């Protein structure tokens, strides 16, 4: 019972498959506070940079919020709309584009890049379920988010209050000065306040990033049972893996056997081919007991090697696709051929022996039993009905 409970505890680091699946479901590492900090920082930097680079920028920004009936052209009222659209486009490009690039770079730095998950946009019935909504509102995650918001507002408000408190005397005396001097005093105060608030936002963003990373990792952690189940799904059950290993060993042994058998091709009586996909080298000595033996056989590249060796050693090559496949799929290297193929091979050997003696014969038609007719994949051919 204790072992079963231990196997259910999520104490193991997530596998790559679990991480990939969470990304597909729209659950990836991100930090809203980091986005807030980078957006505010780049936004302010962009405003200051553009204002110094383009002196008329602030005038353009001001005109966006001012509407005067005196400046309205009643003959061509659309000109005002076009001017407004032009200002919006310029402001969007000058401010919006840097913010967009900042958001993309921030996500790359915080998470594992930009991800698009269709599942995150799919309709979920529990989203409109009142009971589920109440559970989310009073969940531990919601409580943590509330505490974070309170602490954030308290920290920023406290920093602002402290800065204003130490400059309170100067702020009070600003009312005694001219408008220009008062504004100048506020301009001096604003950068100081902005810098301290940016530092606070940076600290909040870093803490939030560490917390989000920890929470995300805890959500993805797996139990020992989950890892074992995933391994079964990925690699198959132990029985299946054992069969795969057995098949791999058989294929490896067969390939090794075929390679070593190439040395025996020089002793072959005939090589039967497909003509290029399969090649089987047979040996038969007249007067000896037993059926012809398979010295070497192979398909693809191995078949090409067998035929090349046969050509170099002046060994007769006989093209018979059906027989070559039948010998390949029913025979073994070093073993005699199947009894059902005796007649077919005997006809070829008789033809080879006679032409070696100088006789001129027509190439015989080789018949293969219907149950030994294979395609190139080793599947038996089905006769047409």
For the segment 147-177, what is each residue's pLDDT rounded down to a tens digit? 888 988 899 899 888 888 888 877 777 777 7
Share above pLDDT 90 across residues of the chain, in percent, rounded to a whole number? 22
How many CB atoms sit inside 10 A of residue 377's CB? 7
The helix/strand/coil state of 296 is strand
Gap between the Cα atoms of 347 and 358, Å rounded: 17
pLDDT surpasses 90 at 272? yes
Digit-coded pLDDT (tens) for 100-137: 888 888 877 776 666 666 665 565 656 666 666 666 66
Find the radius of gyration of the CA atoms of the chain. Answer: 42
Most confident among 234-238, 261-265, 335-339 (mean pLDDT) = 335-339
pLDDT surpasses 90 at 385? no
Quote the pLDDT of residue 384.
43
Quote the pLDDT of residue 45.
85
Give the residue among 369, 363, 303 at the shortest CA–CA distance from 342. 369
CA angle centred on 125, ends 122 and 130, rounded to 5°: 135
Q: Where do we find the tokens 């770079």? A: 105
pLDDT band at 316 (very low <50, low <70, confident <90, very high): very high
Whole-prediction pTM:
0.50
How many CB atoms sit inside 10 A of residue 270's CB? 22
Per DSSP, the chain holds a count of helices (H) and strands (E) of: 16, 6
How many CB atoms sit inside 10 A of residue 119's CB? 10
More confident residue, 229 or 284: 284
Give the residue among 258, 372, 373 at the shortest CA–CA distance from 304. 258
What residue spans in the chain does CATH classification 3.40.1690.10 cover?
245-372
Which of 3.40.50.150, 3.40.1690.10, 2.40.30.110, 3.40.190.10 would CATH assign to domain 245-372? 3.40.1690.10
| pLDDT, mean of residues 314-343 | 93
| pLDDT, mean of residues 223-234 | 75
pLDDT surpasses 60 at 93? yes
* Residues present in the chain in total: 385
> In Å, what is the CA distance from 176 to each residue of 91, 217, 235?
37, 58, 81
């Amino acid at each position: 019972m204790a072992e079963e409970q231990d196997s259910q505890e999520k104490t193991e680091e997530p596998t790559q498959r679990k991480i990939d699946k969470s990304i597909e479901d729209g659950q990836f590492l991100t930090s809203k506070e980091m986005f807030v900090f980078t957006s505010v920082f780049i936004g302010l930097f962009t405003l200051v940079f553009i204002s110094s680079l383009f002196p008329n920028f602030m005038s353009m920004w001001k005109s966006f919020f001012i509407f005067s009936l005196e400046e309205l052209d009643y003959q061509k009222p659309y000109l005002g709309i076009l001017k407004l659209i032009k200002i919006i486009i310029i402001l969007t490009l000058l401010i919006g584009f840097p913010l967009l690039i900042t958001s993309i770079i921030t996500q790359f730095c915080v998470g594992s890049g930009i991800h698009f998950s269709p599942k995150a946009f799919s309709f979920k019935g529990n989203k409109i379920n009142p009971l589920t909504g109440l559970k989310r509102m009073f969940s531990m995650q919601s409580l943590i988010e509330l505490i974070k918001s309170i602490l954030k507002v308290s920290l920023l408000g406290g920093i602002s209050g402290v800065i204003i408190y130490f400059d309170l005397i100067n702020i009070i005396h600003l009312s005694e000065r001219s408008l220009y001097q008062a504004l100048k005093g506020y301009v001096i105060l604003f950068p100081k306040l902005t810098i301290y608030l940016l530092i606070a936002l940076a600290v909040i963003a870093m803490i939030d990033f560490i917390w989000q990373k920890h929470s995300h990792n805890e959500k993805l952690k797996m139990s020992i049972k989950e890892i074992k189940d995933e391994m079964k799904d990925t690699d198959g059950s132990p029985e299946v893996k054992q069969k795969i290993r057995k098949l791999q060993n058989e294929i490896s042994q067969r390939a090794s056997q075929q390679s070593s058998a190439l040395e025996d091709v020089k002793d072959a009586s005939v090589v039967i081919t497909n003509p290029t996909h399969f090649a089987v080298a047979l040996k038969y000595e007249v007067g000896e007991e037993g059926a012809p033996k398979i010295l070497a056989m192979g398909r693809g590249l191995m078949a090409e090697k067998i035929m090349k060796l046969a050509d170099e050693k002046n060994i007769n090559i006989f093209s018979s696709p059906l027989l070559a496949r039948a010998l390949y799929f029913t025979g073994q290297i070093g073993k005699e051929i199947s009894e059902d193929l005796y007649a077919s091979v005997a006809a070829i050997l008789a033809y080879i022996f006679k032409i070696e003696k100088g006789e001129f014969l027509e190439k015989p038609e080789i018949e293969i039993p219907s149950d030994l007719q294979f395609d190139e994949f080793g599947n038996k051919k089905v006769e047409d009905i």
